[in-house]
Amino acid sequence: MKRLVAGLSVAASMALSITACSPDGPGSTATSEPTATVDRQSSVEAQNGASVSPVSTGTAKTPATAGHGKCLDPASPLVTAAVGNVDSYYGRVFQVYRSSDERLGSCPNLMWVEAHIRGATGSSPEQVLFFDADGFVRTDTDRNTAFTRVSAWSGDSVSVTYRWLNDGDVTAKPTGGPVVVTYTLSNGKVTADRAVPVQAYGDRSGPATATSSTPAPSASHCDTATASTLHDAADMQYHGSLVQPFSMVNIICDGQWAIARTQSSAAQPVRVLFRYTGGGWSAIAMGTGFSCTDNGVPTATAATLGCG
């Protein structure tokens, strides 16, 4: 009898021991292996050989610029307002040309928009606007440039490539540059790693130093307002509206403004207004009855050009 009781006691002890060790036994709770998630930027850094620590990803903040599944929606009210606040260029407003294209869930800290004037050509003025998750931060410069393009971006930085026209260049083929300026977001501010070359503003001599309260007269660029140069500028701006082939004749130039008439065997002539800006000539108006002063031409210059 004592042997039977002892045997039952040992068997019960063994059963209890086996039940307690089994993860699927009564009263047990299954636990999964610990996991770590790494955000997109850390993953990129790890691939590049940088030392990173796994970070937990919570609910990522949706940028104020978001829309239609994108981190920056060019049509969002915030982006539209920021671009709309860029000063118009002789009555011609700016619009989005290119922008960041990341999808929600993979948003960089610094986003961007390239803005051109409507009907822009390669030599037309443009601006780069920077945004963070809270909204608009700043433009790349406080003055318009031309031949400018965002060439790289990642995480907190955006690189912008600047080019410009040298003497003798046609507007379609700038030979100045390229110079790359990298803009970085830190503590809510965007800073550049170097100055934008003054040539990118169309100024080849460097910043002017005022010596008196009388403004210096504008330099004349009429020596470059050739029939060939103005033809190229008009063709770039109004290629779809001008009957080909055509030439530019009856050129009148005064300082930074010029006007000429098209000549074509297949179409009636029209006048084209040009302005020298950003290191080259740009066509800014075309037709038979436009007003030069309505396009920003000073009254005295408009009289010289023969279009009030």
Number of domains in the chain: 2
- Residue 227 sits in the same domain as residue 275: yes
The token duo for 178 is 């390229």
Give a yes or no: residue 145 inside a domain: yes
Give a yes or no: residue 13 inside a domain: no
pLDDT exceeds 70 at position 36:
no
- Residue 125 sits in the same domain as residue 191: yes
pLDDT digits (tens, 9 = 90+) for 214-237: 333 456 789 889 999 899 888 877
- Residue 137 sits in the same domain as residue 188: yes
Give a yes or no: residue 184 inside a domain: yes
Give a yes or no: residue 189 inside a domain: yes
CA distance linking residue 216 with residue 205, whole number of Å: 14
- Residue 196 sits in the same domain as residue 227: no
Measured in degrees and rounded to the nearest 5, phi and psi for residue 222 equal -65, -25
- Residue 195 sits in the same domain as residue 235: no
pLDDT digits (tens, 9 = 90+) for 120-159: 776 788 999 999 999 999 999 988 898 899 999 989 999 9
> What confidence category does residue 13 fall into, taking pLDDT thresholds of 50, 70 and 90?
very low
CA distance linking residue 232 with residue 12, whole number of Å: 99
Could you say which of 170, 200, 230 is where a domain stops?
Answer: 200
Domain that holds residue 296: 222-305
Q: What is the pLDDT at residue 87?
A: 87
Give a yes or no: residue 173 inside a domain: yes
- Residue 145 sits in the same domain as residue 244: no
- Residue 191 sits in the same domain as residue 228: no
Q: Which of 40, 137, 39 is nearest to 85 (CA)?
A: 137
| Residues above pLDDT 90, as percent of the chain | 39
- Residue 141 sits in the same domain as residue 237: no
pLDDT exceeds 70 at position 206:
no
Q: What is the pLDDT at residue 216?
A: 36
- 47 burial level (CB within 10 Å; 0-12, 13-18, 19+): exposed
pLDDT digits (tens, 9 = 90+) for 163-204: 988 888 877 788 888 999 999 999 999 999 999 988 888 644
Q: Any idea which of 87-96, 277-286, 295-304 has the lowest mean pLDDT?
A: 277-286
- Residue 180 sits in the same domain as residue 235: no
Higher pLDDT, 173 or 96: 96
Higher pLDDT, 253 or 18: 253
- Residue 100 sits in the same domain as residue 171: yes
